[in-house]
A = this chain, B = another copy of it.
Amino acid sequence: MNPELSLTEENYLKAIYHLSEDSGLDVSTNSIADEMATKPASVSDMLRRLSKKGVVHYQKYRGVSITDSGRKIALQVIRKHRLWEVFLVEKLGFNWDEVHDVAEQLEHIKSSLLTQRLDKFLGHPTMDPHGDPIPDENGEIKEAPQLPLADLQPETQGIVVKVPDSDPSLLRHLDKLNMRLGSKIMIHDKVEFDNSVLIQIDEHEKIYLSGEIAKTIMLAVK
């Protein structure tokens, strides 16, 4: 069976998971200390403990990697975090940038029944309000396909996961339209003549967006 982890241990494990996902390499003590806003000495202590519990593979001075058992636990925590984010945004009307701190607390609630029921209540979502995938009960992640807004068919929807970061004037324009990372976009119509699209951004008014811009906006779909 998986070991019981304290809240702190869960947070360390999550940090190690994210860092090794990003780099693909063993994770250093210092990088964990940065991520956790703590000191390397504290990290060393914790790594010995996590290693004893079998959730990480740790060699002194050589860095740390996550074990299968550890990955499973980390993914369960991430699953709960993202399910709660969906709940906060979809059901309680939070903005997507207000949910993180609350979800950081809710993700540690221990009740597999709760997670199961919450998942069902939310309609088994596969994506959180930032477009990140929600691992299933077994820790499987199905990465949502990302497409340019321009390629989506009418009556489908997606979440903005990438906008070109090179053009300040475009960013200002998008901001004025209330389109930002995490915005939920519903495509209502495509205009053949100029490839512009009729879209609704979150709960705002429908607007037309030029095909030129629509080509640069990446959406995570389903």
A residues adjacent to B (C-beta < 8 A): 88, 91-94, 98, 101-102, 105-106, 109-111, 113-114, 117-118, 120-121
A70 to chain B, nearest CB (A): 23
* A-B contact sample (4 more), CB < 8 A, given A102-B109, A106-B109: A88-B114, A92-B120, A102-B113, A105-B111
Q: Which of B98, B101, B114 contacts A102 (CB 8 A)?
A: B114
> Can you name 12 A-B pairs with beta carbons within 8 Å?
A91-B121, A92-B117, A92-B118, A92-B120, A93-B117, A94-B117, A98-B113, A101-B111, A102-B109, A105-B109, A106-B106, A106-B109
Interface SS of chain A: helix
Q: Which of B93, B101, B106, B114 contacts A92 (CB 8 A)?
A: B114
